[in-house]
């Protein structure tokens, strides 16, 4: 995904890991990305792990982070269109590399609808 983001003109910050280690703890990777999104250092982030669940749990603990676990393009699109998600989580055990790239593209190209959805986000952030 890092290479794909570079091809699209983004400057991704890769927080790792560089290789699979079953002893890794997902919060160690979710926190720096979620913190960067929460603080406004970056506008969006992308995380991936086996199921995506742990990354989602950890990331959504940060203020102003709306991490969306997306296993297909439609979920990614709706997470942006309705929820203005700012952090994409991909479940690597359930999507192929090609699917992951397609999901990423859909998420990046989808704009937030606003309107009633903005009101709902404001209620969440209170």
Report yes or no: 29 and 47 within 8 Å, Cβ to Cβ: yes
How many C-beta atoms surround the C-beta of residue 53 within 10 A? 13
On whether residue 19 sits in a domain, the answer given is: no
If one counts the domains in the chain, the total is 1
Q: Could you give the CA distance from residue 18 to residue 37 in angstroms, rounded to a whole number? A: 21
pLDDT tens-digit profile of 7-32?
Answer: 999 888 888 888 878 888 999 999 99
pLDDT tens-digit profile of 90-114?
Answer: 999 999 999 999 999 999 999 999 9
Q: Could you give the CA distance from residue 102 to residue 123 in angstroms, rounded to a whole number? A: 31
49 as an active site residue: the answer is: yes
Which pLDDT score, from 0 to 100, does residue 100 have? 98
On whether residue 37 sits in a domain, the answer given is: yes
On whether residue 64 sits in a domain, the answer given is: yes
Q: Could you give the CA distance from residue 46 to residue 57 in angstroms, rounded to a whole number? A: 14
- CATH number of the domain where residue 53 is located: 3.40.1400.10
In terms of residue numbers, what domain contains 47? 27-125
Q: Which of 81, 82, 105, 117 is catalytic?
A: 82
On whether residue 8 sits in a domain, the answer given is: no
On whether residue 79 sits in a domain, the answer given is: yes
On whether residue 7 sits in a domain, the answer given is: no
| DSSP per-residue letters across 46-84 | EEEESSSHHHHHHHTTSTT--EEE-SSHHHHHHHHHTT-
pLDDT tens-digit profile of 48-93?
Answer: 999 999 999 999 999 999 999 999 999 999 999 999 999 999 999 9
On whether residue 63 sits in a domain, the answer given is: yes
pLDDT tens-digit profile of 34-48?
Answer: 999 999 999 999 999
On whether residue 53 sits in a domain, the answer given is: yes
């Amino acid at each position: 995904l890092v290479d794909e983001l570079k091809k699209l003109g983004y400057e991704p910050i890769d927080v790792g890991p560089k290789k699979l280690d079953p002893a890794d703890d997902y919060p160690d990777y979710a926190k720096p990305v979620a913190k960067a999104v929460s603080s406004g250092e970056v506008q969006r982030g992308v995380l991936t792990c086996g199921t995506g669940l742990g990354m989602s749990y950890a990331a959504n603990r940060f203020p102003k982070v709306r991490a969306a676990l997306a296993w297909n393009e439609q979920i990614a699109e709706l997470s942006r269109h309705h929820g203005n998600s700012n952090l994409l989580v991909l479940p690597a055990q359930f999507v192929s590399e090609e699917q992951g790239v397609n999901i990423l593209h859909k998420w990046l190209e989808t704009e937030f609808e606003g309107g009633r959805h903005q009101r709902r986000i404001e209620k969440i952030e209170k």
